[in-house]
Chains A and B, each alone.
Chain A
Amino acid sequence: MITQTSKKPDIHLRKGQIVKGKWHRNHYHVVKKLGSGAIGAVYLCVHENRQVALKISKQSASVSSEVNVLKSFQAVQGYHLGPSLMDVDDYQAQNGFNYSFYVMEYISGESLHDFIRRNGHEWLVSLLIKFANDLHVLHQQGYVFGDLKIENLIVSRKPVQLRWVDVGGTTLQGRSIKEYTEFYDRAYWQCGSRKADPGYDLFALAMVILRVYYPNGFTRGNNPKKTLQQKINRAVTIEPLKKLLLMLINNSVNDAEQVKDFLLTYFIHQKSKKNKRRYNQQAKSSHEAFHPFLEVSSILTIGGVCYLYVTFFM
Chain B
Amino acid sequence: MKTGTLKQILLITDGCSNQGEDPALVASLVAEQGITVNVIGILEDDHTEQPEGLEEVEEIAGNGHGVSQIVYQDALAQTVQTVTKQAMTETLQGVVNNELTQILGSEKTMEELPPDQRGEVMEVVDELGETCDLEVLVLVDTSASMTNKLPTVQEALIDLSISMNARIGRSRFAVYQFPGRKKSIQQLVDWTSKLDSITSIFAKISSGGITPTGPALKEAMYQFGKKTLRRRFIRDDYTDIEEA
Residues of A within 8 A of B (CB): 1-7, 23, 38, 60-61, 64-65, 67-68, 71, 88-90, 98, 100, 174-177, 181-182, 187-188, 193-196
Contacts and interface: CB of A to CB of B under 8 A. Distances in A.
A61 B89 contact: yes
B114 A2 contact: no
Contacts of A194: 162-163, 166
Interface string B107-132: 00011001110110111011000100
Nearest to A196: B166
Interface of B: 36, 61-62, 65-68, 77-78, 82, 89-91, 93-94, 97, 110-111, 114-116, 118-119, 121-123, 125-126, 130, 159, 162-168
Contacts of B114: 23
Contacts of A187: 159, 162-163, 166
A67 B94 contact: no
A1 B166 contact: no
Nearest to A176: B166
Contacts of B65: 1-3
Given A98-B111, A176-B167, A6 B62 contact: yes
A65 B122 contact: yes
B93 A61 contact: yes
30 contacts: A2-B91, A3-B65, A6-B62, A6-B67, A6-B68, A23-B115, A61-B90, A61-B122, A64-B118, A64-B122, A65-B122, A65-B126, A67-B119, A68-B122, A90-B115, A100-B118, A175-B166, A176-B166, A176-B167, A176-B168, A177-B163, A177-B166, A182-B77, A187-B159, A187-B163, A188-B159, A193-B162, A193-B166, A194-B163, A194-B166
A1 B68 CA distance: 16
B115 to A, nearest CB: 4
Contacts, number: 86
Given A176-B166, A182-B78, A68 B119 contact: yes
Contacts of B115: 23, 64, 67, 88-90, 100
Contacts of A61: 89-90, 93, 110, 122, 125
A136 B244 CA distance: 34
Contacts of B68: 6
A174 B93 CA distance: 23
A38 B36 CA distance: 22
Contacts of A65: 122, 126
B163 A176 contact: yes
Closest 4 CB pairs of A and B: A176-B166, A64-B122, A194-B166, A88-B115
Nearest to B89: A61
A3 B93 contact: no
Contacts of A193: 162, 165-166
B27 to A, nearest CB: 12
Contact of B90 (A2, A174, A176, A195): A2
A218 to B, nearest CB: 13
Given A60-B111, A88-B115, A5 B162 contact: no
B33 to A, nearest CB: 14
Contacts of A177: 163, 166
Contacts of A6: 61-62, 67-68
Contacts of B94: 1-2
Contact of A175 (B67, B165, B168): B168
A34 B126 CA distance: 28
A88 B119 contact: yes
Nearest to A181: B78
A205 B86 CA distance: 26
A175 B90 CA distance: 19
B107 to A, nearest CB: 10
A207 to B, nearest CB: 15
Contacts of A4: 90, 111
B219 to A, nearest CB: 24
B90 A3 contact: yes
A60 B118 contact: yes
A1 B89 contact: no
A23 B94 CA distance: 24
Contacts of A100: 115, 118
Given A64-B122, A175-B168, A176-B167, 8 more contacts: A4-B90, A61-B89, A68-B123, A88-B115, A175-B166, A176-B168, A193-B162, A194-B163
Nearest to B93: A61
A97 B78 CA distance: 29
Contacts of A71: 119
Given A67-B115, A68-B119, A176 B93 contact: no
Contacts of B125: 61
Contacts of B121: 64
A175 B119 contact: no
Contacts of A98: 111
B162 A1 contact: no
A175 B126 CA distance: 10
